[in-house]
Chains A and B, each alone.
Chain A
Amino acid sequence: MVSRVSRSLALASVFALAVGLGACGSGSSDEGNGDDGVVTINYWGFAPKSTTADKYKEAFEASHPNIKVNFRVVEITDYPATLRPGLQSDDGPDVLPLAAGGAIAGAFLFEDAVEDLTPLAKATLGDDFADQFGGGYIEQLTVNGKLLASPFVGVTAQYFWYNKDLFDKYSLVPPTNYDEMKKVCDTFAANDVQCFVGGFGGDLPFGGELARTIANSIEPGYWEDAIKGKVSWESPVITETVDVLRKMQADGIIAEDAIAIQQYPEANNIFQSQQAAMIQMGSWYAQYDPKDVSAEAQEAAGVTDPQVFTQLTMPAPDLSGHGNIPTTLGEVDWGVAISKRSQHKAEAEEFVKWLTMTEEGQQFGCSVLEGVPTLKNVEPDWPNLNLSNPELQEANIRQIIEDSLTTTETRNRWIGPETAEAILQLVQGALTTNTPAADLAAAAQSAAKPLDGAADS
């Protein structure tokens, strides 16, 4: 009797072990195939935001009734850690957004895990597909000859966005240099309005963006050359950048607690709730131009009675006093990739094709003002944008699109994880310690690691 029980238990144990290990392993998943022939594909991404994602889903599913898209919005700072295991699992994403560079979603970080989309692009747009996209977008998402993601929206960065209503209220005009910036900030401070809000805490690169603005006003292009490893971070340009950052903090232009807050959600909430008059963001920030989106953002920021206000861009001021107006930066903001582990590649291809390679999908993206359209000759649906201030904001968006075509400096294209961390620590060190600027620059030089091929670009 005992031996029979023992044998049964042993068998049960082996079965349990097999089940346990099986759960760890990589079995195939047919979850996406419904009985009704409808296939569900999973999209994991830091963009678009959930409300916009619903609009994409609705539009795509209307024209593709046999495919459903399951959007999972992942917080941008958690994206790499979420994506890595996801891309090694059959239950991970079928489609996902990737960026031109940067430590978070740079396409080069996921080279082995996503499909080469060159054949799809050729089949859809022809052999000259690269020419049908804006300048450099295809090249920026191509690694070792493989198109890792199909460009969806472009980005132009280094703008200062300002609340025109607040500026008008106190008879102020956008500043063009440090002294003007100081005067504007003093006026706002006297009226209990925060002049400039920046969220430099966390892993997002916004502190580095401001530092780059300063560096580009000292010597245009130096910061990008340092990223590429062409010049050293140990340089008077970088030490002066640190000094200007510290001066801005001492003068109250950068808040004392800028390192304690993050650009999203805190700094964004402060600007959208009209507690601050300026914020540094890129072209994607135009998504808050429409009345309804602005109201949603204000409600999310705790405003009970949202008011329509006009937000516009202005060129970044010459913060160092060297007489250089910092140029805008531009590149593909994000494209859409297909996981090699996807069980529904045909459907995933349909989605990528619709979103990035058709006028309908692209126009949809630029009409929710996600960014600059990457496919040439696509424009937002101007009459239906529902802007807070159509007269000024439409012209502003047109200017942003034009800037995207003329900019020559990339934003994150050549920034890898080590360099991103080096820049983050440089800015945090500048704003929270008394460490000599030269030491901070030396630390950045030793921590930064240029990407392969950067120096030759």
Chain B
Amino acid sequence: MNAQRHQSRSSELVGLAKVPARPSRVQLAPHGYLWIFPAFALCVGVIYYCVGYSVYISTLSWDGLSSYQQDVGLENYQKLFADPLFWSSLWHTVVFFVVVFTLQTLLGIVFAAILHSKVKLAVIYKVLIFLPVVIAPAIMAPVHRNVLSKDGALNSILSSLGLGDFTRSWLADTSTSLWAIIGVQIWSSAGVAFILFFAAMSQVDLETLEAARIDGAGNVRTLLYIVMPEVKGTVIALAVLNAMAALRLFDFPYLLTRGGPVYSSEFPGVFIYREYAAAHAGYSSAASVVLLVIALGASVLMTMRHRRSLRAEQGR
């Protein structure tokens, strides 16, 4: 039975592969372009103009305000690549991405799987899991500061569990400030992963699941071997979303630690903001441009990898 299903799925995939190729772009022209031209013109005129202007500013020594602008070529980039603070902010971004993405995915899948089973009051749980996503970081930041303070709720819980030796001022400690921000981010965004996985799991063929059950697969096995392959696309999408979010992260580090203490929770967004506020407009623009290139590169890489794996799946 299982083999039959696999066969039929393979045939479907083969069928998909036989769908006639999409009409080439040339076939859309000439009047097709006119329909997209208004949006295209606005996009180029507003967004790409600003990106171009940032690139131009990045070649200047300029305070962002005065009429004195000195052309320094690539000097800002040279300085940036030699700036250990910028590199450490990027390293924090990598750590942030890996940890947040991993735990968010794990939590999202577990919550989604649990709520796909017959749980009482499921709607309430869904709301509770998703609620942190819709609360603005600016509103939650004072609460988090309080929870993570020396006399905050987290330390009270640790003390009551007999873990008093672990209590500390989480945001004032150079060894924990980054992890505190990571924790807060996971808390505030796990709901997104949950919603995505919940929706993706709704698309899993019920018959396949039933077949797995009949074949004796338990919950974990079904999740790992039946559900997970089906939600792989969601994992990739979540990875791309998380990578972008990590690269442009600003709110929680700025509101909770301002990148400190001693730059221990510095992220590129805070770095750029601080440099701009310190009247180094050219330098902060150079950092923005590098960040943009990294973001584009990461996005292209992940998309290419996803396509390759799709193609490999189709070829199987």
Contacts and interface: CB of A to CB of B under 8 A. Distances in A.
Interface of A: 2, 5-6, 9-10, 12-14, 16-17, 20-21, 24, 77, 80-81, 84, 87-88, 103, 109-113, 201-203, 255-261, 266, 417-418, 421, 425, 428-429, 431-433
B172 A417 contact: no
B65 A87 contact: yes
A428 B66 contact: no
A169 to B, nearest CB: 22
A423 to B, nearest CB: 13
A2 B261 contact: no
Contacts of B171: 201, 257, 259-260
B277 interface: yes
A418 B274 CA distance: 11
Interface stretch (B42-50, B123-131, B229-237): B42-50
22 contacts: A5-B34, A6-B31, A6-B34, A10-B37, A14-B41, A17-B41, A20-B45, A21-B45, A112-B67, A113-B65, A203-B274, A259-B171, A259-B260, A259-B261, A260-B172, A266-B145, A417-B277, A417-B279, A418-B278, A428-B261, A429-B262, A431-B172
A20 B39 CA distance: 11
Contact of B261 (A112, A266, A418, A431): A431
A199 to B, nearest CB: 11
Contacts of B273: 81
A113 B264 CA distance: 35
A2 B45 CA distance: 26
Nearest to A257: B169
Interface residues of B, number: 43
9 nearest A-B residue pairs (beta carbon): A257-B169, A260-B172, A417-B278, A112-B66, A259-B172, A260-B171, A432-B261, A257-B150, A17-B41
B46 A20 contact: yes
Interface string B259-299: 01111100000000110111111000000000000000000
B166 interface: no
Contact of B42 (A5, A6, A16, A433): A16
A201 B256 CA distance: 9
Contacts, number: 121
B251 to A, nearest CB: 13
Interface string B19-54: 000000000000100110110011001100110000
Nearest to A14: B41
Contact of A256 (B67, B172, B260, B276): B172
A429 B38 CA distance: 53
A272 to B, nearest CB: 16
Nearest to A204: B258
Contact of B34 (A10, A80, A88): A10
B37 A432 contact: no
Interface in B54-75: 63-68
A150 B18 CA distance: 77
B291 to A, nearest CB: 17
B156 interface: no
Chain B's interface: helix, strand, loop or mixed, by majority?
Answer: loop
Nearest to B38: A13
A17 B45 contact: yes
A418 B45 CA distance: 36
B149 interface: yes
B150 A17 contact: no
A202 B142 CA distance: 13
Nearest to B275: A417
A257 B172 contact: yes
A203 B254 CA distance: 10
A12 to B, nearest CB: 6
A223 B204 CA distance: 68
Contacts of B35: 9
Contacts of B173: 432
Given A81-B273, A256-B150, A13 B169 contact: no
Nearest to A80: B277
B105 interface: no
Contacts of A17: 41-42, 45
A6 B36 CA distance: 11
A126 B50 CA distance: 47
Given A109-B63, A256-B172, A257-B150, A81 B38 contact: no
B222 interface: no
A111 B276 CA distance: 17
Nearest to B281: A84
Contact of B278 (A259, A421, A429): A421
B37 A80 contact: no
B89 interface: no
Interface in B61-93: 63-68
Contacts of A10: 34, 37
Contact of A432 (B38, B66, B174): B174
Contacts of B172: 201, 256-260, 431-432
A118 to B, nearest CB: 19
B41 A16 contact: yes
B145 A260 contact: yes
Contacts of B277: 80-81, 103, 417
A63 to B, nearest CB: 33
B296 to A, nearest CB: 23
B257 A80 contact: no
Nearest to A2: B31
Contacts of B149: 257, 260-261
B168 to A, nearest CB: 8
Q: Which of B46, B49, B148, B262 lies at the interface centre, i.e. has the most chain A CB atoms within 10 A of its CB? A: B262
A13 B260 contact: no
A429 B126 CA distance: 43
Given A256-B169, A258-B172, A260-B169, A201 B258 contact: yes
Contacts of A257: 149-150, 169, 171-172
A80 B273 CA distance: 10
Contacts of A80: 277-279
Q: Which of B68, B172, B263 lies at the interface centre, i.e. has the most chain A CB atoms within 10 A of its CB? A: B172
A12 B38 contact: yes
Interface string B164-191: 0000111111100000000000000000
Contact of B49 (A24, A112, A203, A428): A24
A431 B273 CA distance: 25
Contacts of B264: 432
Given A10-B34, A257-B169, A260-B145, A81 B258 contact: no
A428 B262 contact: yes
Contacts of A113: 65-66
A77 B42 CA distance: 34
A177 to B, nearest CB: 27
A260 B155 CA distance: 15
A76 to B, nearest CB: 11
Q: Which of A9, A14, A418 lies at the interface centre, i.e. has the most chain B CB atoms within 10 A of its CB? A: A9
A323 B238 CA distance: 62
